[in-house]
Structure 1
Amino acid sequence: MSKPIVAIVGRPNVGKSTLFNRLVGHRRAIVDDMPGVTRDRNYATVNKYEVPFILVDTGGFEPVTEDRLLQQMREQSQLAMEEADVIFFVMDGREGLTPADREVAGMLRKVNKPVFYLVNKIDGEKLELASSDFYSLGIDSMHTISAEHNRGINDLIEELMGILPHSPADDEDEITKIAVVGRPNVGKSSLVNKLLGFERSVANPTAGTTRDSIDTHFTCNKKRYLLIDTAGIRRKGKTTEKLEKYSVVDSLRSIERGDVVLIVINAEDGVTEQDSKIAGYAYEAGKACIFVVNKWDALQKDNASVGRFVDRIRTEFKYLPFAPIIFVSAVTGQRVPKIIQEVDKVMTQYARRVTTSDLNKVFTEATEAKHAPLASGRRVKFYFATQVGTKPPTFVIFTNQPEGIHFSYERYLANRFREAFGFEGTPIRLLFRGRERNKA
């Protein structure tokens, strides 16, 4: 089951990107006082709450405008509204209710989806009282929040968690879902055709031929698979056509649906910035990953070519040091059969569970060998760890200061778990909790 999508919409400069950053947990979107900074949709997978979801930030929504940029921003917002399961409509509590807010609210009343009306920038009692004017929109309820100061966010999340669908428990017998992603024209469809052994996708040298994800079921060595061939993900500045915008959304949904993501890179182009963005989507979604370097046959190579390319990938994708790398040619079939072998290996690790006793033996050794940095001048104490999920392997660690764990120490623990248990090809997710939560 793919994660639900929550879209943030509203006029320019009402604090949408600040709310996006607050919910994601780090500074992902560019925040500026100039209206219209966020021109395209910005996506992030939010995993820190009870129900994970995809959060979409949008450019400002101006209902009527002659300005082409604002028209494009409006189109982006409409696309986000169409693809979303839940909509956050953000308004500016300092500026007050505007005619544009009224028109957007009127449009949202026609949307058959849950809509949260958020009055942002409410930093004090005076603004809280003034916000009652927003009820004139004819809404039954609204949230007064300050995204910048974290005011009202907990109540908002609590209500959101109450309506988002919970993912069903993992089915150990389900088929392995393989998402094939990459920039346009890196050879994804040709690779899929070679894997399947027949012309299932239209392979065309013109970039952007595949607009929608195409699913194909197949069996190999008595194992069942679902291959998801996606549209190429272009740089945001080049997704100008409406169909291209939908293709980006569709590719991200395909990543969410997949268990193992094949990140296809064109050997002739080398590693590009967009390759890194695509891989980042897969990593943030918590998917098992394999780098597939296609068109390897087209290069002039020497004995050190593979080593140089591997070094480049490891340098550019430092957050994916665990992902295997395969050099293939979809045209000649060189090493293409090895892909399924690697998929099976990483899928085993992606769905792996370790015993609590083995886990805590490694956990205790790790925390004793290297103590966590002080948090707010206090020593961080660890109690125990337990695995709470797979796909990816997810661990809850109980501590006296769950908010005080430095990222570098979290990475240290993940590396120790990986050294002890493997987990090749899959990210490891660590969640830190206060000890009192275990008493519930």
Structure 2
Amino acid sequence: MSIPVVALVGRPNVGKSHLFNRIMGSHTAIVSEEAGTTRDRHFARAEWNGRGFWLVDTGGLTEDPRMPMDREIRRQVEVAIGEADLLVFVVDARAGLHPSDARVAELLRSSGKPWLLVANKVDDPRATDFYEFYELGAGDPVPVSALNGKGSGDLLDVIVNRLPPGDAGEDDSLKVAVVGRPNVGKSSIVNRLLGEERLVVSDEAGTTRDAIDTPMRFHGRSFVFIDTAGLRRQTKIEDGIEFYSSLRSRRAIERADICVLVIDAVEGLHNQDLKIATMAWDAGRGLIIVVNKWDLAEKDDKSAARFEKSCREKAPYLTFVPFLFTSALT
């Protein structure tokens, strides 16, 4: 990838997603008082003073091997570190130096990648009470307040000055939104296409809660895959994070060029699947239907044709939509 990659890393709840949003100028990453809200790597294209770069918001690094999701998040962060050209280590100046900060610093040092230290939650840039972080060995901390924006311009100056040469030109990537109900295998499909586990995959329905932008190149063409949170019926959206995730998915459809609707071969086409397809069709987006878990369905040599016919009887416009039958796992 010719565009440099900058990854935000740190322990949970130090304000990485707030900082991500401040740099991007929008609520691109879900922010909550709940520690660990960001569970996948989250990409977005940023630009400052004519320099373009990909900004990555990663999940918080923890040290609890008993929690499978924590192990998966750590693996995701390690992948993000491997892809990054510059690592931005975010610490909480208000809470002070934490033992986990030293472990994160050691991980960054061992990566061999350039990195800088950001002391977040510093309301007064002239404050000096964050200098305990010097013992992390990252040099001068850059003081910022992601919540009110103080110091964010200075941080961006430091970031672009540390970047390798990159392409700040117009992004002509084809945007592909991968949509569907929870736990139909959207993240597994994207991971299979990308050839690596960029997105957390779990048996827990709704593991992906943000719309995750992931760039890739294929045969010389640039793509951005948007893996969205599963779209549930409105009555099943129980809390603010679920609501915001659903809204994000709907917006992802609006900004995509093509929508890939993933449905479960075993469960068949649900009314919610049809609503999602209609949403994409009405938005004028290209639509492809991927029938996942086809290996688990009882079938014969005519099952695929019958499946397509059944779907198209429910929505005539699906006559013009291609169906692909696959298994992301096999």
Give the TM-score range, shorter chain: 0.5 to 0.7
Is the Cα–Cα contact under 8 Å of residues 118 and 141 in structure 2 kept in the other structure? yes
Deviations 1:223-249 (A, max 9, x none): xxxxxxx56999x674579xxx9xx99
Q: Where does the alignment leave 5 or more consecutive residues of structure 2 unmatched? A: 181-186, 227-244, 263-274, 291-303, 306-318, 322-330
Is the Cα–Cα contact under 8 Å of residues 262 and 290 in structure 1 kept in the other structure? no
Determine the C-alpha separation between the residues in 2 that align with 1:262 and 1:16: 22
Cα pair distance change 1:280/1:326, threshold 3 Å: closer
Determine the C-alpha separation between the residues in 1 that align with 2:102 and 2:95: 14
Structure 2 equivalent of residue 51 of structure 1: 51
Work out the number of aligned pairs and report it: 263
Q: Which aligned pairs between 1:235-254 and structure 2 lie closer than 5 A?
A: 238=201, 252-254=215-217
Determine the C-alpha separation between the residues in 2 that align with 1:310 and 1:240: 24
Structure 2 equivalent of residue 142 of structure 1: 141
User: The residue matched to 1:43 in structure 2 has which SS?
Assistant: strand
Cα pair distance change 1:112/1:74, threshold 3 Å: same
Is the Cα–Cα contact under 8 Å of residues 37 and 59 in structure 1 kept in the other structure? yes
Determine the C-alpha separation between the residues in 2 that align with 1:261 and 1:6: 17
Give the Å deviation of 1:39.
2.5
Identity of aligned residues (%): 31
Determine the C-alpha separation between the residues in 2 that align with 1:262 and 1:32: 25
Structure 2 equivalent of residue 62 of structure 1: 62
Cα pair distance change 1:281/1:115, threshold 3 Å: farther
Give the Å deviation of 1:46.
2.1
Cα pair distance change 1:67/1:180, threshold 3 Å: closer
Give the Å deviation of 1:290.
4.9
Determine the C-alpha separation between the residues in 1 that align with 2:143 and 2:38: 23
The amino acid across from 2:280 in the alignment is I
Structure 2 equivalent of residue 409 of structure 1: none
Cα pair distance change 1:231/1:95, threshold 3 Å: same
User: The residue matched to 1:54 in structure 2 has which SS?
Assistant: strand
RMSD over aligned Cα, in angstroms?
5.1
Structure 2 equivalent of residue 156 of structure 1: 155
Structure 2 equivalent of residue 102 of structure 1: 102
The amino acid across from 1:5 in the alignment is V
The amino acid across from 1:90 in the alignment is V
Cα pair distance change 1:239/1:167, threshold 3 Å: farther
TM-score, with structure 2 as normaliser? 0.59
Give the Å deviation of 1:141.
2.6
User: The residue matched to 1:157 in structure 2 has which SS?
Assistant: helix
User: The residue matched to 2:18 in structure 1 has which SS?
Assistant: helix
Is the Cα–Cα contact under 8 Å of residues 2 and 166 in structure 2 kept in the other structure? no
Give the Å deviation of 1:115.
0.7
Determine the C-alpha separation between the residues in 1 that align with 2:213 and 2:27: 25
Structure 1 equivalent of residue 269 of structure 2: none
Structure 1 equivalent of residue 87 of structure 2: 87
The amino acid across from 1:44 in the alignment is A
Is the Cα–Cα contact under 8 Å of residues 42 and 56 in structure 1 kept in the other structure? yes
Cα pair distance change 1:48/1:66, threshold 3 Å: same
User: The residue matched to 2:90 in structure 1 has which SS?
Assistant: strand
Determine the C-alpha separation between the residues in 1 that align with 2:225 and 2:132: 51
The amino acid across from 2:66 in the alignment is E
Equivalent of residue 280 in structure 1, options 252, 258, 282: 252
Determine the C-alpha separation between the residues in 2 that align with 1:240 and 1:81: 25
User: The residue matched to 1:253 in structure 2 has which SS?
Assistant: strand
Determine the C-alpha separation between the residues in 2 that align with 1:102 and 1:27: 29
TM-score, with structure 1 as normaliser? 0.46
Determine the C-alpha separation between the residues in 2 that align with 1:210 and 1:250: 11
Q: Which aligned pairs between 1:97-246 and structure 2 lie closer than 5 A?
A: 97-124=97-124, 128-164=127-163, 165-167=165-167, 182=178, 213=193, 230=194, 238=201
Cα pair distance change 1:69/1:290, threshold 3 Å: closer
User: The residue matched to 1:130 in structure 2 has which SS?
Assistant: coil
Structure 2 equivalent of residue 258 of structure 1: 221
The amino acid across from 1:36 in the alignment is G
Give the Å deviation of 1:52.
2.3
Cα pair distance change 1:86/1:249, threshold 3 Å: farther
The amino acid across from 2:106 in the alignment is G
The amino acid across from 2:80 in the alignment is A
Structure 2 equivalent of residue 39 of structure 1: 39
Structure 1 equivalent of residue 280 of structure 2: 313
Deviations 1:62-93 (A, max 9, x none): 24553444333323322221222211111111
Cα pair distance change 1:12/1:39, threshold 3 Å: same
Deviations 1:260-285 (A, max 9, x none): 7799xxxxxxxxx99x84983994xx
Determine the C-alpha separation between the residues in 2 that align with 1:262 and 1:67: 28
The amino acid across from 1:55 in the alignment is L
After superposing the two structures, state which structure 1 stretch, 140-149 or 26-35, moved more.
Answer: 26-35
Pair 1:5-2:9 in alignment: no
Give the Å deviation of 1:327.
8.1
Determine the C-alpha separation between the residues in 1 that align with 2:253 and 2:4: 15
Higher relative contact order (CA 8 A, sep 6+): 2
Give the Å deviation of 1:314.
5.0
Determine the C-alpha separation between the residues in 1 that align with 2:28 and 2:12: 18
Cα pair distance change 1:87/1:278, threshold 3 Å: farther
User: The residue matched to 1:155 in structure 2 has which SS?
Assistant: helix
